A and B are shown apart, each in its own frame.
Chain A
Amino acid sequence: MTAHEAPLAPEATAPHSIGVHTQKLGMWVFLVSEVMFFTALIGSYIILRWGTDAPWPEPRTVLAIPVTALNTFILICSSVSMVKAYAAAVKDDQRGLKRWLLTTVVGGATFVGVQVREYIHLVQKGFLPSSGLFGASFYTMTGFHGFHVTCGVLSMIWVTIRAFRGKYAGGKYQGIETIGLYWHFVDLVWIILFTIVYLI
């Protein structure tokens, strides 16, 4: 970064701030909007499915629940490894940080891979977005969630590269916490989606 392209970096917290790092606060505000976005999709799904008496296919007759359950487990594990990465960053344990970040990247990428495989499988079976409201809402909700995980994995790769360059050493680990918030949020959304789309 050269001097003349660097934006003015305001101090992390001002005297009257609420004591939360600016980056972390920005992520929380962003996540509020993400909550509203997924609420729009999930709320519509609830209205379309339970707001009428029209029949709705049993999810397990269409979707392969055991595979997705395993995938859910993998995603939750990647959240755990994210926590471990943050804990390592706080202790300035650079080796641990790199290792746990890599684990998280692998977990997230596996999740996306399994989801893509699931999509291919479903499309081959003839289950498409145009296959009734179930197909439409299934692909819209899980698709946007998958898009969020993909964005998360890409950012996580970038963070991992920075970690390997030692950018988070010496107590400058705010970036780890910030991306961790996003990661846990995406994980949480999946737990809700898995419950209401696959299980119920």
Chain B
Amino acid sequence: MTAAVTAHGAHAHADDRSFVRKYVFSTDHKIIGIQFLFLSLFFLLVGGLLAMGIRWQLGFPGQAMPLGGWLPQGVAPGGVVAPKMYISLVTMHGTFMIFFAVMPLLVGVFANYLIPLKIGAPDMAFPRLNMWSFWLMIPSGLLMLSSLFVLGGSSVAGWTVYAPLSNTPDYTGVHLGQQLWCLSIVVFGASSLLGSVNYITTVINLRAPGMTWFRMPLSVWALFITAVLAILAVPVLAGAVIMLFFDQTIGTHFYLPAGGGQPLMWQHLFWFFGHPEVYILILPAMGIASDVIANGARKPIFGYTSMVWAMVAIAFLGFIVWGHHMFQSGMNPTLASAFMVSTIVIAVPSAIKVFNWLGTLWRGSIHFTTPMLNALAFVSMFIIGGLSGIFMASTPVDMYIHGTYFIVAHIHYVLFGGSLFAIFAGIYFWFPKMFGKQLDERLGKVHFALTFVFYNLTFFPMHILGLGGEMRRIYDPTVYDYLRPLQPINVFITINAFLLFLSQLVMLWNVIRTLAWGKKAEMNPWHDCGLEWTVPSPPPHGNFEHTPTVYHGPYEFSVPGAAADFIPVNQPPAQAGEAHR
């Protein structure tokens, strides 16, 4: 039986799977990618709502929140955010956005959906493990969500859960909430591990004939390198979190000075994971943006090989810079200098990438489609976020701005301005392939314009707040005389944050409308070269009728002499003159 299935397993065949096998416990990488999409968009909404709570308190400290009366009196007496709830909001906003929204959006969605399609494989190397990678995210997310509702509240130690604040309930009154945080992250780590093993193995072993390493699209390269980072970094987080969990539950003292433990060890372990995590959150975005920009500019990507090596360099450097998160924690100045230099060196490969994107755009015939607009926003916002990153890399500057809103502005410029715009670009770009329906371009552009404007009005003024001395994670800035003059900026940010949140309803409406009444997508609506555009939208189970053969590089746009302005990667060279189908 098994042998018979294997024999024709490599090709798309009549789909006789039951509903549950097809859509719920599916081993099909495309369904798993779409499952991740809905799950992580849900957590993006949760994280966004928490952010609204934070902004309300900062804009209008001590005033009752709209709808705040619905919250239990314990956390929001009279609808006003209580101090402990505020810190809980900050902690859980970061946690949900990083672990449950942006990381699964980039890796869970795009790695799952794109890798097999783009390299010409019928599915992942281990489809069942892939299914488990999604189904472990459910208990992980539920554990984290439930921590919001247990006695004592959720973790209040920030998303970095620094010890000893996190493992000493006497300081915070949080017992179970922090333990659930730890358990959730361990399960999350297992999910990430199963996914990453799959992505790496699939890319190494399942490429179609002709799909050589340096014919892989940059998105696949980025997702592959990201998976390598995850394999190396996430287990360290798991180990560190397990020790934190033991500190709280079975009386160990790993991070408690009282028993001889070392709180700084937590920071080292956490940031050994945490800095590669930063690149886990940005490399796939770079890959997606590269694909979309080459397509939108109708030009081959400029400096393809240097793009690949720049990502490899970023990934490698990402492992030797973690100390720059700890300049303020007390560090030997010589060591701090080493971390400062290694961090600043990352600007080199990052700049290579930025200039290559600009080089790709140079004299291209740019099509301002919704994905392209979002990808361009990614590049420009990443430049701002990257430049403010150099401020933080420099130890003496960092000493002043590290604990302030400047760093809040920085992380949102790379994580929202960078990653999330690239995610939007990816969703608009591959939505027709995923669902077989074309998102409305006009609504897409409205969504983009509103998001871009309100995003900048929300986060750019935070740089000014930070340089003015406003601390991050502060409950009520108006209690300080020197911060009171800055309060109008906080009100301005809050209003724009609400508008930014509301702008996302345009995208939500666009998705609902398209899924219900949208126009059917063509096989290749963006006239792209990739293998995923040579199969129907959505592709059948097994993806390809016959294993495709690849003859071209990934970005052969506007080749002189070719009939169309793109050459599909699987077009045999003999027919180079007849690109249109």
Contacts and interface: CB of A to CB of B under 8 A. Distances in A.
Given A11-B10, A133-B260, A44 B231 contact: no
Interface string A5-36: 11111110111111010100110011011101
B251 A26 contact: no
Interface residues of B, number: 60
Contact of A39 (B197, B236, B242, B265): B236
Interface string B127-148: 1100000000000000000000
A34 B231 CA distance: 9
Interface of A: 1-11, 13-18, 20, 22, 25-26, 29-30, 32-34, 36-41, 44, 47-48, 51-52, 54, 128-130, 132-133, 135-137, 139-140, 144
Contact of A132 (B17, B126, B253): B253
Contacts of A51: 262
A22 B206 CA distance: 8
Contacts of A38: 239
Interface stretch (B1-9, B156-164, B277-285, B415-423): B1-9
A38 B123 CA distance: 31
A41 B123 CA distance: 35
Given A44-B265, A44-B269, A34 B205 contact: no
B252 A140 contact: yes
Interface in B194-238: 196-198, 200-201, 204-209, 211-213, 231-236, 238
Contacts of B197: 26, 29-30, 33
A14 B265 contact: no
Interface of B: 1-2, 4-6, 9-10, 16-18, 21, 27-28, 121-123, 125-128, 193, 196-198, 200-201, 204-209, 211-213, 231-236, 238-240, 242-243, 246, 250-254, 259-262, 265, 269, 541-542
A36 B246 contact: no
Contacts of B127: 7-8
Contacts of A15: 207-209
A179 B351 CA distance: 44
A2 B396 CA distance: 65
A79 B118 CA distance: 41
Contacts of A128: 251
Given A14-B205, A40-B269, A130 B243 contact: no
A2 B4 CA distance: 11
Given A8-B122, A26-B197, A33-B232, A16 B252 contact: no
A133 B253 contact: yes
Given A26-B126, A32-B232, A14 B208 contact: yes
A30 B208 contact: no
Nearest to A35: B235
A3 B13 CA distance: 12
B262 A47 contact: yes
A133 B259 contact: yes
A25 B209 CA distance: 19
A40 B242 CA distance: 10
A6 B5 contact: yes
B246 A129 contact: yes
Given A15-B208, A25-B201, A130-B252, 5 more contacts: A14-B205, A16-B213, A17-B207, A33-B231, A133-B261
Contacts of A8: 9-10, 27-28, 122-123, 127, 541-542
Nearest to B541: A8
A24 to B, nearest CB: 10
A9 B542 CA distance: 10
Contacts of B128: 7
Nearest to B129: A26
Given A10-B125, A44-B239, A44-B243, A54 B260 contact: yes
Given A4-B17, A10-B123, A129-B250, A17 B205 contact: yes
A8 B489 CA distance: 56
B246 A37 contact: no
B253 A136 contact: yes
Contacts of B262: 47-48, 51-52
Nearest to A43: B269
B213 to A, nearest CB: 8
B123 A7 contact: yes
13 contacts: A3-B5, A4-B17, A7-B127, A15-B208, A16-B207, A16-B212, A22-B201, A29-B201, A33-B234, A37-B236, A40-B238, A130-B250, A130-B252
Contact of A1 (B1, B232, B250): B1
